[in-house]
Amino acid sequence: MSDPLLRLSAVGKTYPPTVHSSERLRAFWQILKSGRSEGGARVLDSIDFEVRRGESLAIVGANGAGKSTLLKVITGVLAPSSGEIERQGSQAALLELGAGFDPEYSGLENLRMNAAFLGLGRREVDEKLDDILSFADIGESIHEPIKHYSSGMVVRLGFAVVAAVTPDLLITDEVLAVGDESFQKKCIRWIEAYLEQGGTLLMVSHNMYQVQKLCRHALWLEGGRARKLGDVFDVTQAYLAWHERRDADAVRQSTGHATSQTYGVHALAIDAAGEGEPRLALGEELVVRMALRSPDERPPVALLGLVRADGTPVYGVASDHDEVALQAGQDGLYHLVLRFPGLPLLPGGYVVRGHAMDPEGLRVHDTAELTFTVTGRSRELGLVRLPHHWET
């Protein structure tokens, strides 16, 4: 029961150079002699993880992080350049819906062929044919050649075959991104039922909502390396926060730093336990500490904003909105603390922006930024948790 269905130890993959025929010949001899070829571009580097029966693991990462290559290596379409892969039990892989379809043949013929690719014998196909056809729901078109199908129909047929297979380990690569809304829901319902019955899932998806809904664990790949492996919420939140920050990089470049000749932000901090980037749980109190300076001993106006890591504004408030006057401390700086009790921000990456404005509150003279992460297990959508209650 606790035996892993899949175990990867130190798996690495390099794509060999294949442009020149001399390179191909050299690789040919190397593989014939030693079973490995040398050199090339590294796309996966020492990946370790295992998938146990009943587990569900998502692989997330930016484009080019090596997700698809990893799946190809796991399914055996590609040979790993280093490391070991152990497999137990039956495995059905959907690297691309309809990949095994031949457009010249009818849906039914392709269905049989694909079922065989996924490990379903002829007799089993006959037994399950009605189920498959009703799942695919493409009617009489099943007797038409696939080349006359819409892409949606191809997807339906492709997934319907998989749904009939029920392997020990199901591997899918971004296959639920296609097909219309209602079919996606049907697929997700099927996967949920499959997981409830003890099925094991390994999936690649860019849809974090799907990932959080279907998987309990996640692996974040970046540049071919495992950056984070663990609970699906921790990993996807860290991944999303990283993504949003990367998108916001360009925006951040443009914020200048004021000289001492003008109103400026001297310090900006968030109260949080531990080293490094502040981390807060959903619903905790956010405490922002700020110190401003003034060139002429007139108290500046503090403006504080919360934005999501991708730059979406969430909330902003200035000290003069609330008619708060800043007081100079003994060090000549204007210290202030802003508290947000019961922070309603949903899990993700955020930025606090502290601005120093002139005493009239008309112009922003300086800006400082500080990123922080809100953690928590929540599948709610949007930026903030609004107070609500259900009535039924």
Partner 1 sequence: MDTISFSIFGQLTARNLRSHSAGTATVSLWLVVTPLLLLAVYGFVFGVIFKARVPSDLEIPFVAWLALALWPWLAFSDGALRGAQAIKQHAVLVAKVPVPRVLLTASNQSAAFLLQMAGYAVVLVALLGLGVDFSLRSLPYLLLILFSLYVFSLGLALLLSAVQVFVRDLEQLLPTLFMLWFFLTPILYVPEMLPERGSVLLYLNPMTWWVGEIRAALFYDKWLPDLTFLGLAAIALLTLGIGKKVFDRLSPHFEDFL
- Give the residues lining the site for partner 1 (CB under 8 A): 15-16, 18, 21, 24-25, 27-28, 31-32, 35, 37, 72, 75-79, 91, 93, 95-96, 99-100, 102, 104-105, 109, 112-113, 116-117, 119-122
Nearest distance from C-beta of residue 338 to partner 1, angstroms: 54
Q: Outline where DSSP puts E strands in the chain.
A: 4-15, 41-52, 56-60, 82-87, 91-94, 169-173, 200-204, 217-222, 225-231, 264-270, 279-281, 286-293, 301-308, 313-318, 334-340, 348-357, 364-375
* Least gap, CB of 32 to partner 1 (angstroms): 6
Nearer to partner 1, 119 or 139 (CB): 119
Shortest spacing between CB 45 and partner 1, in angstroms: 17
CB of 77 to partner 1, least distance (A): 5
Q: What does the angle CA 305 – CA 376 – CA 283 come to, to the nearest 5 degrees?
A: 55
Rank residues 35 and 276 by Cβ distance to partner 1 and give the closer one. Answer: 35
Nearest by Cα to 109 from 134, 146, 155: 146
Least gap, CB of 25 to partner 1 (angstroms): 7
Nearer to partner 1, 75 or 319 (CB): 75
Residue 8's DSSP bridge partners are 49, 85
Residue 344 backbone dihedrals phi, psi, to 5 degrees: -90, 10
Cβ(213)–Cβ(232) under 8 Å?
no
Q: How far is the CB of 116 from partner 1 (least distance, A)?
A: 5
Task: Tell me how many helices (H) and strands (E) the chain has.
Answer: 8, 17
In the complex with partner 1, the residue whose CB is nearer, 43 or 345, is 43
Select 31 or 317, whichever has its Cβ closest to partner 1. 31
Helix (H/G/I), strand (E/B), else coil: 336: strand
Q: Which C-beta is closer to partner 1: that of 23 or that of 320?
A: 23
Which of 93, 2, 87, 78 shows the shortest CA–CA distance to 43? Answer: 78
- Minimum CB–partner distance for residue 24 and partner 1 (Å): 5
**Integer Cα distance of 173 and 191 in angstroms:** 14
Of 171 and 352, nearer to partner 1 (C-beta) is: 171
Report the candidate in 165, 169, 155, 157 with the shortest Cα–Cα distance to residue 119.
Answer: 165
Q: How far is the CB of 137 from partner 1 (least distance, A)?
A: 24
In the complex with partner 1, which residue's Cβ is closer, 94 or 357? 94
Tell me how far apart the alpha carbons of residues 200 and 170 are, in angstroms, rounded to a whole number.
6
Which two three-digit tokens encode residue 188? 């997700």
